Amino acid sequence: MNYWLIKSDPETYGWDEMKEDQETFWDGVRNYQARNFMKLMEIGDICLFYLSNKEKAICGEVVISKSFYQDPTTDDDKWVAVDVKFKRTYQKLIYLKDIKETEGLEQMHLVKNSRLSVSPVTPSEYKIISNLEAS
DNA sequence: GCCAACGTTGGC
DNA sequence: GCCAACGTTGGC
């Protein structure tokens, strides 16, 4: 089982919509690096849901409910989508600012390459983030 | 709203 | 195949 971080602009698709839909497909990724990570996602993998721009915080978790398939929003077979299911809302938002200040998280793609919309999270990073949520 | 960082495109 | 120009993203 793997951990990931997926990014969404709340203006496009926010956490409230995710919660209401319960399940949705994650499409529209047009970046090879992100696409390659999506292809590695398996059912049951946990994705941290990050809100860019306005919030700049991780707000909860979703679970992969279907592994990659051709992105239905384009004819171009280069691109893929996955299905994700709502899991839970964090007790508090974990802000980018705090992530940057936390030891052990400075190597995260989110910190080093903020433009990558899908990125892997290591088990130890996941654990540190869980601790931040509980603290 | 600005701008840095990054990816992509296209001319040579 | 190189690299300049351009577009997009996202933090500030």
Shortest CA to C1' contact from A95: nucleotide = C11
Helix segments in A55-122, DSSP class H:
96-101, 109-112
Predicted model pTM: 0.95
Residue pLDDT, tens place only, A55-109: 999 999 999 999 999 999 888 888 999 999 999 999 999 999 999 999 999 999 9
Domain count, chain A: 1
β-bridge pairing A23-26 and A80-95 = antiparallel
Give the domain CATH number at A64.
3.10.590.10
Q: Which domain holds residue A130?
A: 3-134
**Is nucleic acid strand B under 7 Å from A69's C-beta?**
no
A108 CA to C12 C1' distance (Å): 19
**Is nucleic acid strand B under 7 Å from A32's C-beta?**
yes
Nearest to A32 by CA among A80, A86, A83: A80
Nearest to A26 by CA among A73, A58, A59: A73
Shortest CA to C1' contact from A7: nucleotide = C10
**Is nucleic acid strand C under 7 Å from A119's C-beta?**
no
Q: What average pLDDT is seen over chain A? A: 95
